[in-house]
Amino acid sequence: MLGESTGADLVIVNTCTVTGEAEKKTRKAVRRALREHPRASVVVTGCAAAIDAEAFRALDGRVVVAGKRELAEATRQADRLMELIPPLRSSFRAMPPRVDGRGEDPISVLRVGRGFPTRVGIKVQDGCDNACTYCIVHVARGRAWSRPADEVVEEYRRYTEAGVREIVLSGINIGTYREEGLDLADLLERLLGASSEARIRISSIEPRDVSERLIDLMARSDGRIARHLHLPLQAGSSRVLREMARPYSAERYVDLVDRLYAAMPSLSLSTDIIVGFPGESDDDFAETLAMARRCRFSKIHVFPYSKREGTPAAIRSDQVPPNVKALRAAALSELGDRLRNAAYEVRRGSVECVLVETNGKGMTESYFEIDVAAELSPGELVELRLP
């Protein structure tokens, strides 16, 4: 909603608290919104706002802190939006009533067309019932809950009808999807049956939630469920995993990876690893390096451990010195680059389904970005030989 000459009437900032750095950037974004839009109400939502609402309210009287669900509901109904943000009453003309006689539509806006990415995310789940000792996200997001399968399937169908050819299922812990007796594999089966036009990608899944049925379904889907999984490892030492309260050991993780590769030899596996968790020794870190090589990761997101206030790991006295963390992060990143190159080399010359993106780029099923011919249209899914 744009005002006459002084910018927007409403700015929404979605905040993040996954690392200290992310939280800092979030506060900066709120301050910038206040500065650049002197008349706007600035709605702050997301994880950092859930953890410390007062810190955001204290920035300015124009800041409104709202939960994500509350905000999503308010943006569908003008009255509720104005209840949440009273100053909008003066600049907001009443929305005309829907003419099709339908009630509130939970999927009212499709994010397709100019300005939107070719790959679309559909949120299927939120929240987490785990309590990893370094993590504040499960506190910010609360208990796990799942969207009704009918709603997800309908949104998926509408996107495929609108021409979207890759859908990413997202959530905080999507492996825990449970709704009316359906789990993630059931939901995927329903999506596969709803339209054969799009490829489905599972964004990230906790190792303990990868069931045999899910592996089997992925293997049988012939690429309709991308043979790419992001499987957070976090540490390669069982002792460190225990202290992180991760619900698996290094041995179980390796066993899962072996079963995945056996079912899908072309599978691409990416992961997150934290280095320098409190008490992590040189030997623990050596186990992480060995594990990374063993699992042949195609991409490693390396996170030097950063304290999150309010978590058990933050108050441990055996914090790893910053210089040691930096050295370990550099060593793991260097290994990650080598493994990524090796993972691409084994694919070079093979044929994969590639989603054409903008600027002559495309995303392979195995999640490598490659150059594609300029005449291909963004959004198309085409079989290409990897250069």
Of the candidates 124, 132, 291, 339, which one interacts with ligand SF4 according to CB under 6 A? 132
Half-sphere exposure (Cβ direction) of 237: Cα atoms closer than 13 Å: 19
Residue with tokens 């859930």: 50
Region binding ligand SF4 by CB under 6 A among candidate stretches 101-109, 124-132, 195-203, 220-228 = 124-132
Q: Give whichever of 22 and 194 is closer to ligand SF4, judged by the CB atom.
A: 22
Within 194-235, strands assigned E span 199-202, 228-230
Of the candidates 9, 206, 352, 365, which one interacts with ligand SF4 according to CB under 6 A? 206
Of the candidates 11, 40, 128, 295, which one interacts with ligand SF4 according to CB under 6 A? 128
DSSP state of 48: H
Q: Give whichever of 40 and 136 is closer to ligand SF4, judged by the CB atom.
A: 136
Closest C-alpha among 206, 211, 210 to residue 244: 206
First to last CA, the chain: 45
Q: Which neighbouring-strand residues pair with 64? A: 43
Return the number of other C-beta atoms located less than 10 Å from residue 103's C-beta. Answer: 6
- Residue 176 in the binding site for ligand SF4 (CB under 6 A): no
Q: How far is the CB of 171 from ligand SF4 (least distance, A)?
A: 10
Of the candidates 40, 47, 137, 233, which one interacts with ligand SF4 according to CB under 6 A? 137
Report d(CA 218, CA 231) in Å as an integer: 15
- Residue 228 in the binding site for ligand SF4 (CB under 6 A): no
Closest C-alpha among 251, 269, 276, 268 to residue 327: 276
* Count of chain residues binding ligand SF4 (CB under 6 A): 10
Q: Give whichever of 135 and 267 is closer to ligand SF4, judged by the CB atom.
A: 135
Q: How far is the CB of 386 from ligand SF4 (least distance, A)?
A: 32
- Residue 138 in the binding site for ligand SF4 (CB under 6 A): yes
Q: What helix, strand, coil percent values describe the chain, rounded to 5?
A: 40, 20, 40
Q: Please report, as ranges, the residues that interact with ligand SF4 according to CB under 6 A.
A: 128, 130-132, 135, 137-138, 172-173, 206
